[in-house]
Chains A and B, each alone.
Chain A
Amino acid sequence: MTPSRRETLQWMIAAAALPLARWTPPAMAGEAAAPFQTVADWPASVPSLPATKGYGRDPDLMDPKVPWPLTLTKPQRATVDLLGDMILPADDVSPGAGQLGVGAFIDEWISAPYPAQQADRARIVGGLMWLDAQAQALHRRAFTGLDVGQRSAMLDALCTAAPAGAMEKPVAFMDRLRGLFVLGFYSLPEGKKDMGYVGETPVEGPYPGPTPEALAHLSQLLGTLKLTPA
Chain B
Amino acid sequence: MAQARTSADAPADVIIVGSGAAGGMAAYTLTKAGLRCLMLEAGRDYDPQAEVNMFAPESDAPLRGSSTPDKPFGYFDATVDGGWEIDGEPFTNREGTDFRWWRPRMLGGRTNHWGRHVPRWGPYDFKPFSRDGLGVDWPIAYDDVAPFYDRVEKMIGVNGGPIGLENHPDSPPDCLMPPPKPRVTEMLIKAAAESVGIPVRPAHTAVLTRDMPDPVAPRKACFNATPCTRGCTIGAMWQTTTSFLPMAKATGRLTLVTDAMVARVLTGTKGRVSGVEYIDRKTGKRQQVRARAVVLAAGTLETTRLLLNSGEAGRGLANSSGQLGKNLTDSTGATFSAYIPGLADRPRYNEDGIGGQHIYIPFWDYDRQKRGELDFARGYHFEIGGRFGIPPMGVMPRVWGGDLKKAVRHASGATISLVLRGEMIPNADTFCEADPQVKDRFGIPVLRFAFKWSRHEINQVAHGRRSAQSVFEKMKGTLLFDPNVPPEKMMTAGGEIIHELGTARMGPDARTSVVDSYGQAWDADNLVLMDGAIFASGAHKNPTLTILALALRSSERLATRIKSGAIA
Which residues of A line the B interface, CB within 8 A?
1-18, 20-28, 30, 54-59, 61-62, 64-67, 86-89, 91, 93-94, 105, 108-109, 112, 114-117, 155, 159-161, 174-175, 178-179, 182-184, 186-189, 194-211, 213-218, 221-222, 224-225, 227-230
Distance in Å: Cβ of B62 to nearest Cβ of chain A: 5
Contact yes or no, A225 B342, CB < 8 A: yes
Contact with A along B341-364 (1 / 0, CB 8 A): 011001111111111111000000
Residues of A within 8 A of B396 (CB): 27
Given A62-B51, A198-B349, the answer on whether A182 and B77 have CB atoms closer than 8 Å is: no
Contact yes or no, A195 B390, CB < 8 A: yes
Contact yes or no, B75 A64, CB < 8 A: yes
Contact yes or no, A15 B392, CB < 8 A: yes
Contact yes or no, A184 B412, CB < 8 A: no
Residues of A within 8 A of B346 (CB): 214, 217-218
Contact yes or no, B66 A17, CB < 8 A: yes
- Asked if B215 is an interface residue, CB under 8 A from chain A, the answer is no
Majority secondary structure of chain B interface residues (helix, strand, loop or mixed)? loop
Distance in Å: Cβ of B19 to nearest Cβ of chain A: 17
Contact yes or no, B397 A3, CB < 8 A: no
Contact yes or no, A93 B405, CB < 8 A: yes
Nearest CB in chain B to that of A93: its residue: B405
Nearest CB in chain B to that of A12: its residue: B389
**A166 to B64 CA separation, bound complex (whole angstroms):** 32
**A25 to B225 CA separation, bound complex (whole angstroms):** 32
Contact yes or no, A64 B60, CB < 8 A: yes
**A129 to B416 CA separation, bound complex (whole angstroms):** 38
Contact with A along B26-53 (1 / 0, CB 8 A): 0000000000000000001000001111
Q: Which of A26, A202, A207, A222 has the most CB of B within 10 A?
A: A207
Which residues of B line the A interface, CB within 8 A?
44, 50-53, 55-71, 73-77, 80-83, 86-87, 113-117, 178, 180-184, 187-188, 190-192, 194-195, 200, 209, 221-230, 333, 335, 339, 342-343, 346-358, 383-385, 387-402, 404-405, 408-409, 412, 415, 417, 419, 421, 474-476, 478, 480-482, 485, 492, 496-498, 542
Residues of B within 8 A of A184 (CB): 64
Residues of A within 8 A of B51 (CB): 61-62
Given A9-B58, A183-B64, A225-B192, the answer on whether A197 and B73 have CB atoms closer than 8 Å is: no
14 pairs, CB–CB < 8 Å, chain A vs chain B: A9-B74, A13-B66, A15-B415, A27-B395, A57-B82, A89-B401, A91-B402, A109-B63, A175-B398, A186-B408, A187-B58, A197-B412, A200-B226, A203-B224
Contact yes or no, A1 B333, CB < 8 A: yes
Nearest CB in chain B to that of A203: its residue: B224
Residues of B within 8 A of A9 (CB): 58, 64-67, 73-75, 77
Interface contacts beyond A178-B398, A209-B180: sample of 5 additional A-B pairs, CB < 8 Å, sorted by A: A3-B384, A8-B76, A15-B389, A87-B400, A229-B191
Nearest CB in chain B to that of A58: its residue: B81
Contact yes or no, A4 B225, CB < 8 A: no
Contact yes or no, B70 A57, CB < 8 A: yes
Residues of B within 8 A of A62 (CB): 50-51, 53
